[in-house]
Amino acid sequence: MWFQGVSIVISGLFLWGIVYILAKVNYFKIKKEQMVDVLNSGKREDRNLVRIRAVKEWKQIQQQFLSDSPEDRKQALIRCDRLLNEILKMSGYEGTDLSAKLQALTSDQLSSLERVRTAHILVDQLARNLKGEVQQEESVTAMRAYRDVFRELNLFRD
C-alpha cells in the first residue's frame, strides 16, 4: 500500500519536473505561436505575426553578431540561415531544407540569390563543424548577404 503512495509522489515530482523544464525552454510560448500561425494561416494578422517575430529575431541576431566572441558570430550566422529558411517556408517555397529552397529560386525572384547561396554554404559548413573558426571578413560578407536578402523580401527597411 505504501508503494502506491511513494509511486504517486515520484510520478508527481517527475511530471512537475517535465513541466518546469518545458516552461524554462519557452516550449509553451513557441507552441502557442505555432498554433496561432496555423489558426490564422492566410490572414493579415498571421503575416504580421510572422513579420514581427522575424524582425525581433533579426535584431537579436545582429546583437549576437556584434559580440567579440567568434562562437557568437558563428551562432548568429546559423540563426540567420534558420530565419531565412523559416521565411521562405512561410512564403510558400517548397523544399526539405534551405539548400533545396534556394535551388528552386531563380535570380529573377531574388537578385541576391548567389550571395545568399554562398553564405548558406559557409553556414552549412560551420553548422556541421566542417569549417573551424570563420574569418571575420567571411562572416561580415555572409551577414551582409542575409541582410540584403531580408531587405529584398521586405522584412525590414533599415
| Phi-psi sector, 129: left (phi>0), alpha (psi -120 to 50), beta | left
> Rounded to an integer, what distance in angstroms lies between the CA atom of residue 16 and that of residue 6?
15
Q: Is the pLDDT of residue 36 over 50?
A: no
**Residue 7's pLDDT is what?**
86
Query: Which of 87-91, 93-97, 111-115, 127-131 comes out lowest in average pLDDT?
Result: 127-131
> Rounded to an integer, what distance in angstroms lies between the CA atom of residue 78 and that of residue 126?
8
Q: Is the pLDDT of residue 13 over 70?
A: yes
Q: How confident is the model at residue 59 (pLDDT cuts 50, 70, 90)?
A: very high
pTM above 0.85, yes or no: no
**Residue 38's pLDDT is what?**
46
Burial 29-61 (b: 16+ CB within 10 A, else e): eeeeeeeeeeeeeeeeebeeebbeebeebbeeb
Q: Report pLDDT digits (tens) over 110-158.
A: 888 999 999 999 999 888 876 667 788 999 999 999 999 988 888 776 5
**H-only helix segments in 1-155:** 2-24, 27-39, 44-65, 70-90, 98-104, 113-127, 136-152
